Amino acid sequence: MATEETPLLADEQQPLTRSDGGERDVYARFSKTEKRIIVIVVSLGGLVPLFVGGSFVPSIPQIAKDLRASGAIVSLAVSLAVLANAFGGLVWSGYASFYGRRPMYLWGMPLMVLGSIGSAFSTNIVVLLFWRFVQAFGCSGGMSIGAAVIGDIYRLEERGTAMGSFFGASLFGLAVSPLAGGTAAEYWSWRGFQVALGFWGLIQMVLMYWFLPETAHPGKRGIDKLKDRDSRKRLVLVNPFQSLGMLRSPILILVTVANTFALITDYVLLVPLAYTVGVRYNIKSETWIGACFLPNGFGNILGAHISGRLSDVLVKKWRAKRNGVWCPEDRLRGVYIGALFLMPLSVGLAGLVMAYVDGPLGLTITLICLFANGVGVDMVLTPNGSYIVDLMGARSAEAMAALTALRSLLLAPLSALIIPSIDLLGIRATNALAALLALIGYFIFWLTIRYGDQMRAYVDVGYATIENH
């Protein structure tokens, strides 16, 4: 188990022994150019599930009219996609640890393509719900496996910067997708957009086939540990829920709760945007409503880039203070700016501005708050994601999937309460509650950094060590 007595250099520079008796560095298998290409490809893979989910929401009224169903029934497709993402992430990550990262992308994307085409040609709501589940399930491994790929190819002191690029590109889809979905709903059709998603998935599959090699460390996959060749040829069934056993770890649960509280500030601003910014500032066009999501997306990119580099700097700085000793929680010191300042201040100020400031000035300040919140949220998500990969090593894909499932379970009821809370308590009180949750999340991170080594000692769920990192 990694503790504050774990030498960082010994962990990161441990050579990999070849079968011929020689040695090579496991992180030097790919050139810098190859690593950049891999990051680009998996970032696109991480963007797909967020884009598939976010682009659907603006199309709900058009779909309801087309399929002669109520908006509430059609919106079940959004909840079903969340469920498919959570379950699918567990399935793909479990098999990614056994068979490798590359096969799971190549097996999942065809399902995403099939689900997109099936959704486009749905004749009733039941058929649509089925194909939406297939669509979301197929691309659901993008975030968890992508984060694991970054951990496979980058050293600990370089990992935060690469993870920042991955999360920034992926989460930009969360902000851009409503604009794309809204524009399609207004000027094209929801069916045509689903076909376009299918073609995107097909292109993504081709890119992964040609440009994504297997990145799992040699000898670390489950199939590598099967000595019998006949056993390797048989399909091995992996329990997708096995990774949920990692949730026995108090430290993993705590950082997931803190991560969820960070995302709630994002959801409070973005989910009711058409009813808050749209109504308050008389914006009726779906396209312009979608455009209001863009500042948050640009904030995601900037925040991920800054926090990724910052977390690498902090790992090096605190290692130097300990004379080369590595503490995994040093990576989390980069969340302070976002969790303590940017998120609570941006969401709280946005609530006040939307309540009291009219006209272009109010809209401008609100958009600035959306940008600041995007920066703050990614200054939490990126170090947190890198920390999980650092902590769990070869099982990082499973850990990310398990924590994503827990986060989805927490986010589902909390996000469902946002609009009722605005109706009941008002925009100021709702945003103030979100700001309070962000501050609680900051306190959780502080506890984790302060007492992380002790919390890891309570339950060992396979934390990375010098030998297996």
Predicted pLDDT at 371: 96
- C-alpha 1/C-alpha 393 separation (Å) is 11
pLDDT at 233: 63
**Cα 114–Cα 120–Cα 123 angle in degrees, nearest 5:** 110
Measure the CA–CA gap between 456 and 228, rounded to whole angstroms. 36
Query: H or E stretch including 370?
Result: helix 359-392
Give the other-Cβ count within 10 Å of 151's Cβ.
28
What domains lie within the chain, and their CATH numbers? Answer: 27-219+241-458 (1.20.1250.20)
Asked if residue 408 lies in contact with residue 469, where contact means CB atoms within 8 angstroms, the answer is: no
Query: What residues have CB less than 8 Å from 181, skipping those under 6 apart?
Result: 54, 55, 56, 57, 58, 59, 193, 290
Q: What are the backbone dihedrals phi and psi of residue 4, each rounded to the nearest 5 degrees, phi first?
A: -70, -5
pTM score, two decimals? 0.83
Cβ-count burial 75-108 (b if 16+ within 10 Å, e if not): bebbebbbbbbbbbbbbbbbbbbbbbbbebbeeb
For residues 172 and 170, give the distance between their C-alpha atoms in angstroms, rounded to a whole number. 5
For residues 70 and 63, what is the distance between their CA atoms, to the nearest angstrom?
9
Q: Round to whole Å and give the CA distance between 13 and 134.
A: 42
pLDDT for position 2: 41
Cβ-in-10-Å burial (0-12, 13-18, 19+) of 142 comes to: buried
Q: How many residues does the chain have?
A: 469
d(CA 123, CA 195) in angstroms, rounded, equals 15
Burial per residue of 323-336, b for 16 or more beta-carbon CB atoms within 10 angstroms, e otherwise: eebbbbbbbbbbbb
pLDDT tens by residue, the chain, 469 residues:
344 444 433 333 344 444 343 345 789 999 999 999 999 999 999 888 888 887 887 777 788 889 988 766 777 777 788 788 889 999 999 999 999 999 999 999 999 999 999 999 999 999 999 999 999 999 999 989 999 999 999 998 899 999 998 988 877 777 788 788 878 877 888 899 999 999 999 999 999 999 999 999 988 888 887 766 655 667 788 888 888 889 899 999 999 999 999 999 998 998 788 788 988 999 877 678 778 888 988 998 899 989 999 999 999 999 889 888 889 999 999 899 999 999 999 999 999 999 999 999 999 999 999 999 999 999 999 999 999 999 988 788 889 989 988 888 888 788 778 888 998 999 999 999 999 999 999 999 999 999 998 998 888 888 876 455 5
Please give the DSSP secondary-structure letter assigned to residue 21: S
d(CA 207, CA 205): 5
